[in-house]
Amino acid sequence: MLEIPVEYVKGVGSDRAKLLQSELGISTVQDLLYHFPFRYVDRTRFYLVSEAGSLEQSIQLKGRLRNIRTTGGRKERLEAEFYDQSGSLELVWFAGIKWVKPLLVQGMEYVVFGKPGLFNKKLQISHPEIQTVDDFEAQPGSFQPVYTSTEKLKSKFLDSKGLSKLVQNALKQFHRQIPETLTMDLMYAANLISLSEALVNVHVPKDSTSLSRAIYRLKFEELFFIQLFLCRQNLLNKKEYKGFVFQKVGQSFNDFYNHYLPFPLTNAQKRVIKEIRHDIGSGKQMNRLLQGDVGSGKTVVALMSMLIAKDNGFQSCLMAPTEILAKQHFLTLRDLLQDMPVHIALLTGSTKKKDRNQLHQDLQSGLIDILIGTHALIEDEVKFANLGFVVIDEQHRFGVAQRAKLWKKNISPPHVLIMSATPIPRTLALTLYGDLDVSVIDELPPGRKPIQTIHYYEEKRLRLFGFLKEQIHLGRQVYIVYPLIEESETLDLNNLMEGFEAIQRAFPPPQYRVGIVHGRQAAADKDFEMQRFQKGETNILVSTTVIEVGVNVPNASVMVIENAERFGLSQLHQLRGRVGRGADQSYCILMSSYKLSSEGKTRLETMVRTNDGFEIAEVDLKLRGPGDMGGTRQSGVEELKIADLVKDNQLLLLVRQYAEKVLSLDPNLSSAQNAILYQRLEELQRGRVSWKRIS
């Protein structure tokens, strides 16, 4: 659509075209029309200077200037007094003075837009937008669009206003050539205006109703094509990759279920196993994301799925992000399977050469049923006789390329189950993993007491130590975690060591035993310490976040997080999930200094308020925005131009339904009426590298 070079828009020309391309990535008329305003000024609403002091937002004022002056030596500033009938305030500029100064004329009437603030007890607006009343009134519409621009563009007079002018020219010239991208059916069903009407009104709104209808239509379209792409990808995967058919639920599965499963499954676990069984019996390759909060019991679901694979003559593997975790999975599964004729093995970076060779043989001969390990699993020399099922634990640490490598280990790609203990809000899941099927374990095993979370400031340290002693005397164990953030690693390590020494002083041997693990230790030392703690030989384990994922010591009932304000929400939640795994009441204590940012405060309050991982994920998404959430970098989420995954989540769910409906009626988008959808999708895929990279 409108792939005409932007150069041909009146007022652009070749110099400005180059600049638009390099500064804003705008090279066609289409790009220009999709450069949406990031906000609007309601041109009909003027505030008085006397109201300005009490408002926390940007406002529009009408008044005159006096006392225009430049002050300061090398750090020049431009100041002017702005007044209306109610009072006066200062306008200040620190940069771009040579552009602004010529525009300011004593006594002339101006419209000013900006956010008032107090400086030296005097009200001022720094870097306001300013234009003469005449210029202001010459612009059409009652909402004035405001566009992102850059310093370089501004120097060529392409500030927000300049861009607005170009967009209006483009609309005048090419308005009739704007094709529709959605079908009549969709527009009718979802009550949408046409694309050309939407583009006109988003840039030059007639009134607030037209504006909101325009925005709605454009958001719908943006989300719709992403969902259409993802849903279609999902269908294509299923068609392209014939999965192995695991029809039987046989001896191993039944034996395990009837004789060795140590607890009744929760309803959620049963439901998820059913979903998996359906997938792997369907003849299509499964790509399923299993989301479940920490402690919800994903491991046993994985195990039972792998047993089905065995019953159908296939091998499985389970890949974990760290050695500690891989080993722990291995031990857990070995225990569960100890009386069953199922062969499982462990492969990590530290598996000895001799064992490794034997393991390679046993794998190729088909002797091993289940292989558990770290990244070592994807190395080329690891060859399976018949790999049919792959479980990936904590997937966000594995790249797409690594997954692809696993796929190559058999003639057909194996079924893939990705387990994640980082709940993500449904809207984000739909966008990030929209091409996967999603299962959720939304229920914890019975009998768990909710973890009590407390936030302490530093002054309560003695009380904390007293509490820990009580717990230790009851036979419980304690984690104490310190932040370790890469940029300040040395400093943090010192911090950890100091903390460790302080803890040792407060908990002296022989009465207490304290261990320590951190990333700089040799693997063997780390292992040794982990095992001592696991066996109950140490009361307290001081560590960095290496224990973050998956570690399971049911007797540990207290998690202390030092400098808790420095952790992100999902990390705090992960850490807290290390306790509360046994029958005892567990505690999470968040230690922080008094200096808390408001975001830090919200994070800690959220942790104290709720144990629900999905609720926490929602707050996290709101605090950080989707761009910062794990995995989104490569997902196209940050390329959203107008929709917002947080604010528009209802719309996203609706759009998803429309996309699914369209594809259920016409999976290949081959009908005449869907041709425009097909075309637009192709066009978007060509233009967006990241879309191709989605798993």
What burial class does residue 600 get, using C-beta atoms within 10 Å of its C-beta: 0-12 exposed, 13-18 middle, 19+ buried?
middle
Interaction of residue 292 with Mg ion, rule CB under 5 A: no
Angle (deg, nearest 10), helices 523-534 and 323-336: 40
49 binds, among Mg ion, ligand ADP, none (CB under 5 to 8 A by kind): none
Can you tell me which of 210, 233, 266, 611 binds ligand ADP, judged by CB under 6 A?
A: 266
Q: How many residues bind ligand ADP (CB under 6 A)?
A: 16
> Which entry of ligand ADP, Mg ion, none binds 263, CB below 5 to 8 A by partner kind?
ligand ADP
> Which of 346, 247, 337, 325 shows the shortest CA–CA distance to 300?
337
Amino acid, single-letter form, for residue 262: P
* Cα dihedral 480→563→486→423 (10° resolution): 80
Residue 402 CB neighbours (<10 A):
16
| Residue whose CB is less far from Mg ion, 431 or 574 | 574
User: Angle of helix 195-203 relative to helix 160-174, nearest 10 degrees?
Assistant: 150
Give the nearest distance from C-beta 480 to ligand ADP in angstroms: 21
Neighbours of 56 (CB within 10 A): 8
- Alpha-carbon gap, residue 505 to 285, rounded angstroms: 57
Among 300, 496, 549, 662, binds ligand ADP (CB under 6 A): 300
Within residues 385-424, the interface with ligand ADP by CB under 6 A covers 421
Q: At what angle do helices 675-687 and 208-240 cross, to 10 degrees?
A: 80
Residue with tokens 């041909």: 8
219 binds, among Mg ion, ligand ADP, none (CB under 5 to 8 A by kind): none
Residue 613 in contact with ligand ADP, rule: CB under 6 A: no
Choose between 245 and 583: whose C-beta lies nearer to ligand ADP. Answer: 583
Q: Which of 243, 292, 388, 626 binds ligand ADP (CB under 6 A)?
A: 292
C-alpha to C-alpha distance for 331 and 624, rounded to whole angstroms:
37
Measured from the CB atom, is 325 or 514 closer to ligand ADP? 325
Query: What minimum distance in Å lies between the beta carbon of 276 and ligand ADP?
Result: 15
Neighbours of 110 (CB within 10 A): 23
User: Can you name the residues that pair with 417 across neighbouring β-strands?
Assistant: 288, 391
Residue 155 CB, nearest approach to ligand ADP (Å): 56
Residue number, 65 or 342, with CB nearest to ligand ADP = 342
Closer CB to ligand ADP, 299 or 315, in the complex: 299
Pick the binder of ligand ADP from 265, 596, 654, 684 (CB under 6 A).
Answer: 265
Q: Closest separation between CB of residue 53 and ligand ADP, Å?
A: 53
Q: One symbol per residue from 571 to 600: x for binding ligand ADP (CB under 6 A), - otherwise; what is it?
A: ----------x-------------------
Which of ligand ADP, Mg ion, none sits in contact with 453, Cβ below 5 to 8 A by type?
Answer: none
- Residue 285 contacts ligand ADP per CB under 6 A: no
Residue 199, interface with ligand ADP (CB under 6 A)?
no
* C-beta separation of 33 from 2 below 8 A: yes
User: Considering beta carbons, is residue 85 or 258 the nearer one to ligand ADP?
Assistant: 258
Q: Stretches 10-18, 24-32, 432-440, 544-552: which one binds Mg ion (CB under 5 A)?
A: 544-552
Using the structure block, give the residue that is written with the tokens 């190729």.
364
**Among residues 305, 543, 552, 611, which is the contact residue for ligand ADP, using CB under 6 A?**
552
Q: How far apart are CA 415 and CA 154, in angstroms?
A: 54
- For residue 34, with 0-12 CB atoms within 10 Å meaning exposed, 13-18 middle and 19 or more buried, which class applies? middle
Residue with the CB atom nearest ligand ADP in the bound state: 297
The interface partner of residue 552, options being Mg ion, ligand ADP, none and the CB cut-off 5 to 8 Å by kind, is ligand ADP
Q: Determine phi and psi for 541, rounding to 5 degrees.
A: -115, 115
- Using CB under 5 A, which of 373, 388, 423, 550 touches Mg ion? 550
Tell the smallest beta-carbon distance from residue 172 to ligand ADP (Å).
Answer: 59
Alpha-carbon gap, residue 500 to 541, rounded angstroms: 9
Is 423 near Mg ion (CB under 5 A)?
Answer: no
Question: Rounded CA gap, 78 and 88, in Å?
Answer: 17
Q: Which does 646 bind (CB under 5 to 8 A by kind): Mg ion, ligand ADP, none?
A: none
Inter-residue contact 63 to 87 (CB < 8 Å): no
User: Please, which of residues 430-459 interact with ligand ADP by CB under 6 A?
Assistant: 445
Classify burial at 73, counting beta carbons within 10 Å of its beta carbon; exposed 0-12, middle 13-18, buried 19 or more: exposed
Angle between helices 208-240 and 195-203 (to 10 degrees): 130
297 binds ligand ADP (CB under 6 A): yes
Nearest approach in angstroms of CB 117 to ligand ADP is: 48
Number of residues in contact with Mg ion, rule: CB under 5 A?
A: 1
Helix (H, G, I), strand (E, B), or coil: what is residue 618?
helix
Give the closest residue to 695 by CA, choosing from 371, 287, 366, 147. Answer: 287
Q: What is the DSSP string of 345-360?
A: EEE-TTS-HHHHHHHH
Q: Of these partners, Mg ion, ligand ADP, none, which one is at the site of residue 210 (CB under 5 to 8 Å by kind)? A: none
Under rule CB under 6 A, residue 6 binds ligand ADP: no
Positions that interact with Mg ion (CB under 5 A): 550
Positions that interact with ligand ADP (CB under 6 A): 263, 265-266, 269, 292, 294-300, 421, 445, 552, 581
